[in-house]
Each structure stands twice: as structure tokens, then as C-alpha cells.
């Protein structure tokens, strides 16, 4: 008998998509994407056969600084007008590591994310929910996010390394 795959949709109100990047190599700036979609399909209850898909709306980026956010949406970085979404589609998941293809701008590269499965629970309304934390790191220059500046002291303004953290709660459909 073939296992039936269950579809789960991300619960935006109980999920966060955040990133951290070094600024001038002395501090860390955090940001997030406020609008995103995601789903997973899995037949196994432990999700080890799960296939994940995410997309983030570039225009929803926020770092709590309007000028910086406008710069990030410009062609120096994401070019939100021409490339409105960042996309991820998994290629494998073993319970601890999620591998997949990340598309930023017009570049698609394989990435690997650490995964912590936080469990499954039924909420007071009878909905079954599953929680995950995904963590990983990319080099922004791999995705043509190449803008940079140098301070008077010679420090790089924005690190090449970007850390990503996704706290996701999915609702079984």
C-alpha cells in the first residue's frame, strides 16, 4: 500500500524568516521578510521524506531602517522590481539536513540548511501543526548581491556571509 502524502502550509502568523549580516565587521544587522509562502509534502509522520518549498517577497524586507531597506530592494542588492521573489525548493531531507536550490535574482545555487524538528501538536481549534527551525549560511556574492563599500579605515561595510534562520510552523491541510 502506498503512503498518502499530506500537504502542510506555512502559518505566516506563527513563522519568521530572518537573516543576519555583519556590518562594518563590528556589529550584526538583522532583518526579516514579512511576506512569504511555504509548503511541505510528506507521507511519513517524522517528515523524513518531506519536500519543502518556500518563496519570499523581496519587497517585504525590513531591517528597521527605511533607507537601508530601500537600498536592499534596489538593483545594488535584490532588485525587487525585476526579481520580486526569492525561492527555495528542496532536493533532499534526512531529518537533520535540508538540501535544495535557492534562487535569488536570476541565480540558482544549491544550499544546505540545518533542521531542528520541534514536534507536532494539535491546537485548540483542532488543527494539526508542526514546527521546524532551519538555519544556514550563504555567500551573498554567489547570488550576484555584490554591492559593497569600504569605510575610511578600510573596513568592508557588508559581510559576504549571510546567516539565515527560518522558524516555521506548518498547518496540516
Please state the domain extents for the chain.
6-172
DSSP SS3 for 172? strand
The model's pLDDT over 86-134, given as tens digits with 9 standing for 90+, comes to 999 999 999 899 999 999 999 999 999 999 999 999 999 999 999 999 9
Angle at 24 between CA 21 and CA 29, to 5 degrees: 30
Q: How much is the mean pLDDT over the chain?
A: 91
C-alpha to C-alpha distance for 58 and 56, rounded to whole angstroms: 6
pTM of the model: 0.90
Least confident of 11-25, 39-53, 141-155: 141-155
Q: Which residues contact 154 (CB under 8 A, 6 or more apart)?
A: none
CA-to-CA separations, 48 to 1, 45, 114, 115, in angstroms, rounded: 18, 8, 13, 11
Write down the architecture of domain 6-172 according to CATH. Beta Barrel (2.40)
**So what's the pLDDT on residue 1?**
47
Amino acid at each position: 500500500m502506498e503512503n498518502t502524502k499530506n500537504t502542510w502550509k506555512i502559518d505566516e502568523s506563527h513563522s519568521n524568516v530572518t537573516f543576519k549580516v555583519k556590518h562594518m565587521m563590528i556589529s550584526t544587522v538583522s532583518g526579516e521578510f514579512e511576506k512569504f509562502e511555504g509548503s511541505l509534502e510528506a507521507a511519513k509522520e517524522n517528515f523524513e521524506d518531506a519536500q519543502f518549498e518556500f518563496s519570499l517577497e523581496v519587497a517585504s524586507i525590513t531591517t528597521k531602517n527605511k533607507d537601508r531597506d530601500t537600498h536592499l530592494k534596489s538593483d545594488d542588492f535584490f532588485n525587487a522590481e525585476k526579481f520580486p521573489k526569492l525561492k527555495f525548493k528542496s532536493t533532499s531531507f534526512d531529518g537533520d539536513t535540508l538540501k535544495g536550490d535557492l534562487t535569488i535574482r536570476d541565480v540558482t545555487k544549491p544550499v544546505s540548511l540545518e533542521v531542528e524538528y520541534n514536534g507536532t501538536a494539535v491546537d485548540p481549534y483542532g488543527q494539526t501543526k508542526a514546527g521546524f527551525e532551519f538555519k544556514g549560511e550563504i555567500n551573498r556574492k554567489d547570488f550576484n548581491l555584490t554591492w559593497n563599500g569600504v569605510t575610511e579605515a578600510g573596513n568592508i561595510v557588508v559581510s559576504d556571509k549571510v546567516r539565515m534562520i527560518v522558524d516555521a510552523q506548518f498547518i496540516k491541510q
